[in-house]
Amino acid sequence: MKKNCFVFTLVFFFISSVLFAAELVPIPVGLKVDAKKVQLGKKLFLDPILSKDKTLSCMSCHNLLHNGADTIAYTKGIEGQLGLFNVPTVYNSVYNFRQFWDGRAKNLKEQALNPIINPVEMGNSMPVVLRELKESKVYPALFDALYEDGITEDNLAEVLAEFEKTLITPNSPFDRYLNGDAKALNMHELEGYRLFKTKGCISCHNGINIGGNLYNKFGIYEDAKSEELGRYNTTHREEDKYVFKVPSLRNIALTAPYMHDGRAKTLEEAVNIMTKYQLGRPMDKDDLHRIVDFLNTLTGELPEIVKDMNVRYQ
* 216: β partners: 244
pTM surpassing 0.85? yes
CA 169 – CA 166 distance, rounded (Å): 9
Contact criterion met (CB below 8 Å) for 268 and 292? yes
Residue 209 is predicted with a pLDDT of 97
pLDDT digits (tens, 9 = 90+) for 158-169: 999 999 999 999
Q: DSSP assignment of the chain, as one string?
A: -HHHHHHHHHHHHHHHHHHHHTT--PPPS-----HHHHHHHHHHHT-GGGSTTS---HHHHS-TTTTSS-SSSS-B-GGGPBPSSPPPP-TTGGG-SSBSTT--BSSHHHHHTHHHH-TTTT---HHHHHHHHHHSSSHHHHHHTT-TT-S-HHHHHHHHHHHHHT------HHHHHHTT-TTSS-HHHHHHHHHHHHTTGGGTS-TTTTS-SSEEES-SSS----SS-BTHHHH--GGGTTEEEPPP-TTGGGS-SBSTT--B-SHHHHHHHHIIIII-----HHHHHHHHHHHGGG--PPPHHHHTHHHH--
CA 203 – CA 198 distance, rounded (Å): 10
Residue 311 is predicted with a pLDDT of 53
Query: In the annotation, is 121 catalytic?
Result: yes
Residue 23 is predicted with a pLDDT of 72
pLDDT along the chain (314 residues), means of 10: 45 48 80 96 97 96 94 92 93 97 96 96 98 98 98 98 97 97 97 96 95 95 92 95 97 97 97 93 93 98 84 52
Residue 307 is predicted with a pLDDT of 80
CATH level 3 topology of 35-167? Cytochrome Bc1 Complex; Chain D, domain 2 (1.10.760)
Contact criterion met (CB below 8 Å) for 94 and 164? yes
CATH 3.40.640.10 fits 12-28+170-298, yes or no: no
Closest to 97 (Cα-Cα) out of 16, 217, 214: 214
Active-site option among 79, 110, 121, 228: 121
Positions of CATH 1.10.760.10 in the chain: 12-28+170-298, 35-167
Q: What is the CA radius of gyration of the chain?
A: 21
Residue 243 is predicted with a pLDDT of 97
CA 176 – CA 167 distance, rounded (Å): 19
The 10 Å Cβ neighbour count of residue 286 is: 11
CA 154 – CA 136 distance, rounded (Å): 18
